[in-house]
Structure 1
């Protein structure tokens, strides 16, 4: 019946297409602007990876960010040359700031911690350092066994914690946690990620949650990772 209706009234195809595109566009807009209810989670902030363009940091507090985590170092060599400047601008805007290291399971602890301490000054006012855990030792050449990866990771964490004077926050991806269960066994605080739905893959309560990994907000030209803190 619907085929016959569209056959005799071909303009209905265009109407239907416009409706579908409108619904899809509305859903995309809602999801790309979604944040947790502030009455349930009043403390929220952003993770600035260094890939954002034209970030107006001074405007972020007005958009609800009370803190900013900023990527400082990646593996043994990658770094954000604007880390210190971004931290200073975040503080000038009234936000707390912290450093992020993106851990490379294929590289030893000493080289990665050296990269971190080179980029992140000793500063008691910084938030606890956060360590992003992704990837797998199985993909390294040569392959890094699970026990070797954990041993190097523990050394790395001890090294940056001694530098920072604070216990690190672990931010394992779901795939990393499924492979190694490091977050579940560690006594360190957790920062988990799952768009729009609260994550549960570490088997114990998280403290921070990347609630929307591609949030669109006016102060940033492009998507930004939005973080909520458990009350």
Structure 2
């Protein structure tokens, strides 16, 4: 075979490989945007929303068949989602169960964070159990005393939030936080774990809620949703 024929053959082989790789990439991209765990296995599925998602679109939630909504309400001692009140009111007018999330800051005293949460989140027995998001590591505070006091401060915060809500909280724990501090094995509450497409197993015990796809496309408006499923 001449050099010219070999060159042409190599060109077409490389072109076909490139097309195949592009096809695989497109397939993976589509899968990542449209995949959710099967309803037969996880009948109850919903979303978590915050400032990134903006104002609740009730029609879009119904199109997505969201069975519940968690709203990010507060963070630290002063952080608040400016849309929380409006979104909470909109959901209250529907039959969609909903609850609130507080993003915990280990650098801030528990009492100040609890005051923030109870100020913005009403005492309402119809709300779903409040969730506490643990992601920021105490090591980022630059104070070893705060890191050592993590469990006691967090317990204080949990007690105050549970006293306000009248029900146990859910611990929403990132993988890095869970592995470094083993909070899931030291504080016995239902767990909410995160991992796209693959079941999370990093907490040392079973989860109740799982953020299974952090960017699921809603067919109603093409907006990404953080999709959450429940395990009974």
**TM-score, length-scaled by structure 2:** 0.90
* 1:85-104 equivalence runs, <5 A: 85-104=86-105
* 1:17-36 equivalence runs, <5 A: 17-36=18-37
* 1:76-91 equivalence runs, <5 A: 76-91=77-92
Alignment-derived partner of residue 46 in structure 1: 47
Alignment-derived partner of residue 111 in structure 1: 112
Alignment-derived partner of residue 8 in structure 2: 8
Q: Distance in 1 between matches of 2:223 and 2:36?
A: 16
Q: 1:67 to 1:164 in 2, by over 3 A?
A: same
Q: 1:180 to 1:4 in 2, by over 3 A?
A: farther
Alignment-derived partner of residue 216 in structure 1: 217
Structure 2 unaligned segments of length 5 or more: list them: none
Aligned residue for 2:71, secondary structure, equals strand
Aligned residue for 1:36, secondary structure, equals coil
For residues 190-217 of structure 1, give each alpha carbon's deviation from its aligned partner in whole angstroms, at most 9, with x where no partner exists.
1111111111111111111111112111
Q: Distance in 1 between matches of 2:93 and 2:191?
A: 27
Q: Is the 8 A contact 2:55 2:83 kept in 1?
A: no
For residues 45-66 of structure 1, give each alpha carbon's deviation from its aligned partner in whole angstroms, at most 9, with x where no partner exists.
0000221156522221231211
The answer to whether the aligner puts 1:72 opposite 2:73 as a matched pair is yes
Aligned residue for 1:218, secondary structure, equals coil
The answer to whether the aligner puts 1:140 opposite 2:141 as a matched pair is yes
For residues 159-202 of structure 1, give each alpha carbon's deviation from its aligned partner in whole angstroms, at most 9, with x where no partner exists.
11111111100011111111111111222111111111111111
Residue 156 (structure 1) shift: 0.7
Aligned residue for 1:89, secondary structure, equals helix
Structure 1 unaligned segments of length 5 or more: list them: none
Q: Distance in 1 between matches of 2:164 and 2:5?
A: 71
The answer to whether the aligner puts 1:193 opposite 2:194 as a matched pair is yes
Alignment-derived partner of residue 166 in structure 2: 165
Alignment-derived partner of residue 153 in structure 2: 152
Q: Distance in 1 between matches of 2:141 and 2:85?
A: 31
Q: Distance in 2 between matches of 1:196 and 1:142?
A: 36
Aligned length: 230
* 1:52-67 equivalence runs, <5 A: 52-53=53-54, 55-67=56-68
Q: 1:56 to 1:5 in 2, by over 3 A?
A: farther
